[in-house]
Amino acid sequence: MVSRRSFLTSTALLSAGLLVSPSLLAYNKRYIGLQLYTVRDAMAKDPAGTLAHLAKIGYNSVEGASYTGSQKFYGMTPRAFAALLKKNGLIMPSSHYRLGEEQVSGAPVAGTMLHGWNRAVDDAAAAGVKYMVCAYLSEPERGNLDHYKYVADQLNKAGERCQKAGLQLCYHNHDFEFKAQDGQLPYDLLLASTDKKLVQMELDLYWVTKAGQDPLDLFKRHPGRFPLWHVKDMDKTPPNSFTEVGNGSIDFKKIFGHADDAGLRYFFVEQDMTPGSPFDSVTKSLAYIKKNLV
């Protein structure tokens, strides 16, 4: 099994939205998405078959996890991948990317915010992506608060390029952004140091909960800033690992009750590790979501 860090390292709208009627910002409950990292091994072997299988299970939206250094989507050009999605009745409104400060074998990684971002934005638009998401900061990319300010500056620059193409940049959290430094949370610094029109947030509900934070408090303090969510549940027993949605301890019904406060547009099921076939796990998560959340 490939780890998130090694996977992301190796592979590397609507800014005016807050100005329109709140009713137009409500998320479309027709779309139940899956972050493709959950089925990364299957996507690496057979992307066409995997997407067809996900559509048969009942997903109609996906989030990309593999815009690689070759600057393709799962080995395909943006338009070819968009055609494959359409063939299976799927949309991909969001896709993950890396900052690109960390090098691989002493060389920068293409298709990242710091290396080849113009091409990445153009390719995202061609593939039908609306949200480009900074997925993860490796340990060398985190550092102290001053370095997080540098990261915020890079996010603003990348977000400005996205805006020019009619796309929106977002930042996806883990739990390390909620470890205080000098009395301040890096996540709060990122929120305060980025332009909310240029940089919005994809809130990972598992990681924010594991960090001891309340998603509803974030929605209250930063309304409309969280158009994307990762819907990922937390096992009730130590070490509180990943589990199927509805099988854990996170109160998704309560959180979904504040979707409008968050500014939610799309959400994606994600389960980094599964006890058996990931397809069995995502099928269980989908059944719970359809019955209880949408």
Q: What is the CATH number of the domain that holds 215?
A: 3.20.20.150
Structural domain contains residue 60: yes
The whole-angstrom separation of Cα 162 and Cα 261 is 24
Tokens of 210: 């594991």
pLDDT score for 3: 52
% residues pLDDT > 70 (the chain):
91
* Number of domains the chain is built from: 1
Q: How many CB atoms lie within 10 A of CB 134?
A: 26
Structural domain contains residue 292: no
Give the 3-state secondary structure of residue 34: strand
Given a cut of 60, whether residue 76 has pLDDT beyond it is: yes
Structural domain contains residue 71: yes
The whole-angstrom separation of Cα 218 and Cα 34 is 23
pLDDT one-digit tens code per residue, 175-211: 999 999 999 999 999 999 999 999 999 999 999 999 9
Structural domain contains residue 154: yes
Given a cut of 70, whether residue 18 has pLDDT beyond it is: no
pLDDT score for 39: 98
Confidence class of residue 28 from pLDDT cuts 50, 70 and 90?
confident
Structural domain contains residue 150: yes
The whole-angstrom separation of Cα 63 and Cα 38 is 10
Comparing 58 with 3, the larger pLDDT belongs to 58
Q: Alpha-carbon Rg of the chain, whole angstroms?
A: 18
Structural domain contains residue 283: no
Confidence class of residue 248 from pLDDT cuts 50, 70 and 90?
very high
Given a cut of 60, whether residue 4 has pLDDT beyond it is: no
Confidence class of residue 71 from pLDDT cuts 50, 70 and 90?
confident
Confidence class of residue 10 from pLDDT cuts 50, 70 and 90?
very low
Which one-letter amino acid corresponds to residue 97? Y
pLDDT score for 220: 98
Average pLDDT over residues 167-180: 98
Confidence class of residue 64 from pLDDT cuts 50, 70 and 90?
very high
The whole-angstrom separation of Cα 148 and Cα 207 is 19
> What's the pTM value of the predicted model, to 2 decimals?
0.91
Average pLDDT score, the chain: 92
Average pLDDT over residues 144-154: 98
The whole-angstrom separation of Cα 200 and Cα 161 is 14
Which one-letter amino acid corresponds to residue 226? F
Given a cut of 80, whether residue 20 has pLDDT beyond it is: no
Structural domain contains residue 24: yes
pLDDT one-digit tens code per residue, 230-243: 999 999 999 999 99
Given a cut of 80, whether residue 13 has pLDDT beyond it is: no
Structural domain contains residue 284: no
Confidence class of residue 124 from pLDDT cuts 50, 70 and 90?
very high
Average pLDDT over residues 64-81: 91
pLDDT score for 189: 98
Q: Which domain holds residue 214?
A: 4-236+244-264
Given a cut of 50, whether residue 245 has pLDDT beyond it is: yes
